[in-house]
Amino acid sequence: MKWFGRRDDDLQEEIREHIAMGTRENMERGMPPEEARRAAQRTFGNVGVTRERVREARPLHWLETLWQDARYGSRQIRRRPMLAAVVVATMAFGVGLNTGIFTLINAELLRSGVEDPDSFVRVHPVYTGDVPLGNPRSGRVSREDYLACREATQTIRDLAAWHSRGGILDHDDTVRVPALEVSCNYFAVYGARQLVLGRLFLEEECASRGPQEVTVLSEGLWRDRYAAAPNIVGRVVQFDRGP
């Protein structure tokens, strides 16, 4: 295989001979020389187009054009260095902006607050057979099922449960606040340890199986509702008219 094909002047000579042969044949048929040459050229078609097409048909044509483009590009840069500088600066700015925004979004939205996201899973129950609760894929687990799963699991280190419910804080508030009723290992499973104030659930509160009246407020709620009151710890928060 000839990697770059033939040289252009080699092809030009071949085409010249081709047309000469046609001219000669036409003259043998009785045409005057000038007319014979024109007729042969007509039969051949456009020589420039043919040469271009042959160039395109070469095996490494793409490499050739790539090299040409690179040379043309560097020539343009040398001719207009200011324009090139502006283009480079624009592109650098664009790339930088993108990277910055991605970094921000990655940190704020995409990365979860979980300690070790790779080993964190969400368990969905799927019940088979007759389910009294209706939708077998509702994602709800009974308290007994959760405790049974937590006892029996071998692949999961710890299993936490939550139930989302909204409620009204204190007595006369009109805004419903989203809340979760959680199992007491909830924060431990999430790997949350640092609090602005107060404490998370205690061991002895976890030891008893009944519901405990301990509330953890989000920092946002603490600031909005209680004006970041430092004496919030120890106060009884009324939730849906219960403590």
Residues lying near other proteins in the complex (CB under 8 A) are found at 1-2, 5-6, 11, 13-15, 17-18, 20-22, 24-25, 43-47, 49-50, 53-54, 56-59
Distance of closest approach, residue 83 Cβ to other proteins, in angstroms: 38
Listed residue (207, 208, 228) closest to 217, CA to CA: 228
Rank residues 25 and 200 by Cβ distance to other proteins and give the closer one.
25
Two tokens, residue 138: 């509702």
Whole-angstrom distance, CA of residue 153 vs CA of residue 141: 15
Rank residues 59 and 166 by Cβ distance to other proteins and give the closer one.
59
CA distances from 7 to 60, 74, 152 (A): 13, 25, 78
- How many other C-beta atoms are found inside a 10 Å radius of the C-beta of residue 122? 5
Distance of closest approach, residue 109 Cβ to other proteins, in angstroms: 53
Whole-angstrom distance, CA of residue 225 vs CA of residue 164: 20
Rank residues 22 and 186 by Cβ distance to other proteins and give the closer one.
22
Rank residues 20 and 91 by Cβ distance to other proteins and give the closer one.
20
- How many other C-beta atoms are found inside a 10 Å radius of the C-beta of residue 27? 16
Rank residues 14 and 170 by Cβ distance to other proteins and give the closer one.
14
Distance of closest approach, residue 45 Cβ to other proteins, in angstroms: 4
Distance of closest approach, residue 59 Cβ to other proteins, in angstroms: 4
Two tokens, residue 34: 């000038």
CA 131 to chain centre: 39
CA 177 to chain centre: 33
Could you give the 3-state DSSP secondary structure of residue 187? Answer: helix
Whole-angstrom distance, CA of residue 233 vs CA of residue 42: 99
Distance of closest approach, residue 35 Cβ to other proteins, in angstroms: 17
Under 8 Å between Cβ of 179 and 187 = no
Rank residues 44 and 102 by Cβ distance to other proteins and give the closer one.
44
Distance of closest approach, residue 2 Cβ to other proteins, in angstroms: 7
